[in-house]
Structure 1
């Protein structure tokens, strides 16, 4: 069985078991709210280069214009890691002997996402991989975009005045007969870039090997919880209601009372209908109390 791991606190563990759900947080309220902006910025830079090319100028301009209007107000994500019992995660999310690492069956997560119009995606840490993913979306859109009435080679063979005449007629076509197709393709490309955006992480965090459940404009109710200094919007993903056995492992983080902490977790899990054998203690020799 292949698992993905979700690090949480005592309150988080009890909440997940009692509601049979995990939180999926609005992307604007993540620990690093600038993460999702990188894909959009890469898209703008590529649009700028296309705008500087007479042949693809109109596509570049329309893409850049649409990206300027693009927001991620309705983008929600939930985070997991390929790595269980990871020191950096205990430090970051489960301070003071107050942490648990919950292992979820990857196939069960994928099934849940497929049934609810969501995606389970692996984060990209390498800069070249990030650029490549953005370029692939833009290249696909450009291939589908209403084409100039001649090849690039033919266009490049024209004098400047002839080029202008061709471009004026082409732009008129895009504003009339080809308007719907052009707008649809540009809009789709921007939506794909928005949904790609939460997969981008700084290379310095590659150790986390993070995966994310991603959903854009969810149909379920938006809920709110108190944050460090502001209210945080989120939605609830009833993963354990969908499949109780999606939860397949619980690791008790480093704790000043490790035996008691594990025994308590076993009692809590049994009360929730799980076999206590899925509980084990962290192997990390870390003392921070």
Structure 2
């Protein structure tokens, strides 16, 4: 089972629509989203001896990755009735928690026409370093080939060999930029070990905004946040197994159960949080 903590309003929207909303990861409330992995990559490159001017150049390219390819996602926890989740994601305990069958979620995703993955978030620094090791080796190879020194070559140089060298290094740097995009596949799969108690899972889909990509936006005070909705109820009504009422939620359990079943879902279990949080 995987559990999605949400407000009462979000719970009502999910149940009545039979959909989940996958939202921009880079525009989430966590300003460090995806950056723990890239910061670790820079630290590993520094340990390998990459000089600071080249570290700055790689960092500049890493900072651009989210603008080139974002991720759309929705978050879950492997732990039901977790107080920190009630506080942080379910309206300070006034919301609810939806329990989804992991096996049926995977079955549903296999039948989806678009690429969406169910991913367990990794908090292990050792595993992150193992994932990043090939990137570090490749970056050091680029450094040794002189690609990161391309801007130090005077563009006004007139000799034919120098101009050819400029063209070659610029082409290799563009190759480096395209290669670095591969890191976006892992950016949203790792988090700082300090968050390990969340036991987080995510539905993740790649997202590149362009005029041919259809998506919606949700207005907030400071931004318009992209999202896509994915429908699950019509094909997999048994995907929802359980509803847990937050420690401050007051709706009687039988009303929640009747409401959920009336919306076309299979038999579910409804219970109240055991957390004594007021």
- Alignment of 1:11 with 2:1, yes or no, is no
1:280 to 249, 270, 278: 270
Per-residue Cα deviation, 1:107-148 (whole angstroms, up to 9, x for no partner): 333344443212221112233332332224545x57998x98
Mark the CA change 1:236 to 1:87 in structure 2 (over 3 Å): closer, same or farther: same
1:100 to 89, 96, 103: 96
Instruction: Report the counterpart of residue 207 of structure 2 in structure 1.
Output: 217
Instruction: Report the counterpart of residue 194 of structure 2 in structure 1.
Output: 204
Per-residue Cα deviation, 1:202-245 (whole angstroms, up to 9, x for no partner): 32321110011122226863222243654332221223344222
TM-score by length of 2: 0.74
Supply the RMSD in Å over aligned alpha carbons. 3.6
Q: How far apart are the structure 1 equivalents of 2:3 and 2:96? A: 10
Per-residue Cα deviation, 1:52-79 (whole angstroms, up to 9, x for no partner): 49xxxx9x99966743542256321210
Q: How far apart are the structure 2 equivalents of 1:22 and 1:104? A: 12
Instruction: Report SS of the residue matched to 1:107.
Output: helix
Q: How far apart are the structure 2 equivalents of 1:11 and 1:256? A: 12
8 A Cα contact 1:4 1:104, kept in partner: yes
Q: How far apart are the structure 2 equivalents of 1:192 and 1:251? A: 38
Instruction: Report the counterpart of residue 148 of structure 2 in structure 1.
Output: none
Per-residue Cα deviation, 1:164-223 (whole angstroms, up to 9, x for no partner): xxxx9xx959928xx58x8557624x2332231222323232111001112222686322
8 A Cα contact 2:26 2:33, kept in partner: no
Structure 2: 5+ residue runs without aligned partners?
A: 146-160
Mark the CA change 1:96 to 1:142 in structure 2 (over 3 Å): closer, same or farther: closer
8 A Cα contact 1:262 1:279, kept in partner: no
Q: How far apart are the structure 2 equivalents of 1:225 and 1:127? A: 34
Mark the CA change 1:34 to 1:287 in structure 2 (over 3 Å): closer, same or farther: closer
Mark the CA change 1:274 to 1:101 in structure 2 (over 3 Å): closer, same or farther: same
Instruction: Report the counterpart of residue 256 of structure 2 in structure 1.
Output: 265
Structure-to-structure mapping, 1:64-79, within 5 angstroms: 66-67=61-62, 69-72=64-67, 74-79=70-75
Q: How far apart are the structure 2 equivalents of 1:269 and 1:86? A: 22
TM-score by length of 1: 0.71
Aligned length: 253
Structure-to-structure mapping, 1:28-47, within 5 angstroms: 28-47=26-45
Q: Which moved more, 1:65-74 or 1:244-253?
A: 65-74
Mark the CA change 1:255 to 1:207 in structure 2 (over 3 Å): closer, same or farther: same
Structure 1: 5+ residue runs without aligned partners?
A: 149-167
Structure-to-structure mapping, 1:1-289, within 5 angstroms: 3-48=1-46, 52=50, 66-67=61-62, 69-72=64-67, 74-95=70-91, 98-114=94-110, 115=112, 116-139=114-137, 175=168, 187-188=178-179, 190-217=180-207, 221-227=214-220, 229-255=222-248, 257=250, 260-275=251-266, 277-288=267-278
Q: Which moved more, 1:264-273 or 1:217-226?
A: 217-226
Q: How far apart are the structure 1 equivalents of 2:141 and 2:116? A: 25
